[in-house]
Structure 1
């Protein structure tokens, strides 16, 4: 039995999404990203994303593919929020150290401080990879969409 290139690509995207979600979780654990409720949010997004990836891998269908898309959208939205929170945290820390910091300097510190600006993007990438695996999935039967 020959597996189509499309099916192989979907499997690859799902596997890459799963590995990326897992790598993000390991990274978050290594940097002890669990001091408050906001820092736990990425773990929830990762769990939802992994569950959706597993569901589509095990039982592809319209509901599982939609769940994959929703999980991907949540991952991207959560990552945007993570970037905003990182920038705010960096700027607040800089202003705490140096209260007379000007707007430009505080903005720069917000973008370049200790909380990495693009780290939340790893979860967004996993979400996009998962959603791409569900793009025009033949098992989805979404009425031609």
Structure 2
């Protein structure tokens, strides 16, 4: 049997995860905007994912149906995939640049140099973290009160 303390703690957890998720959505979205990460179609993918997540999150606050939760999960999945794909694109662009700069270098050396290249290779990983925080919020919503 759940106590009133358990319910209060669950509510606090939901609020903390929700606030963290909103903070990350706005922070990452603003950073991408300030970096002009919208000049190319592929660069707009994370902005689209963030915008979609914000929209569905607002809907979720007013109507918690299985369809909206499923839609939110799909958007979170796309958000995570955009992080993986973004890391690949950043790494590939850095690798190509390093190949031009050091044509005689070995593949492994080029790869290591590419990780710390002009484009931050691991920065798109924040989209994966964003998706995981959003999914944590869904799990907390599904807890019995």
Q: How high is the TM-score relative to the length of structure 1?
A: 0.84
How far apart are residue 93 of structure 1 and its match? 0.9
2:13 alignment partner, one of 9, 22, 34: 9
Contact 1:65 1:137 in 2 (8 A): no
Contact 1:13 1:129 in 2 (8 A): yes
Q: What SS does the corresponding residue of 2:139 show, helix, strand or coil? A: coil
Q: Please list every run of 5 or more consecutive structure 2 residues that lacks an aligned counterpart in the other structure.
A: none
Partner residue in 2 for 1:116? 120
How far apart are residue 8 of structure 1 and its match? 2.9
The within-5 A match list for 1:37-116 is 37-116=41-120
Partner residue in 2 for 1:31? 35
Contact 1:90 1:115 in 2 (8 A): yes
Contact 1:87 1:117 in 2 (8 A): yes
Flag the structure with more relative contact order, 1 or 2, with Cα contacts below 8 A and sequence separation at least 6: 1
Q: Deviations over 1:5-25 (max 9, x none)?
A: 223322321221121011111
Report how many residues are paired.
139
More helix by share: 2
Q: How high is the TM-score relative to the length of structure 2?
A: 0.84
Partner Cα distance (2:59, 2:8) in 1: 21
Contact 1:13 1:132 in 2 (8 A): yes
Q: Please list every run of 5 or more consecutive structure 1 residues that lacks an aligned counterpart in the other structure.
A: 140-145
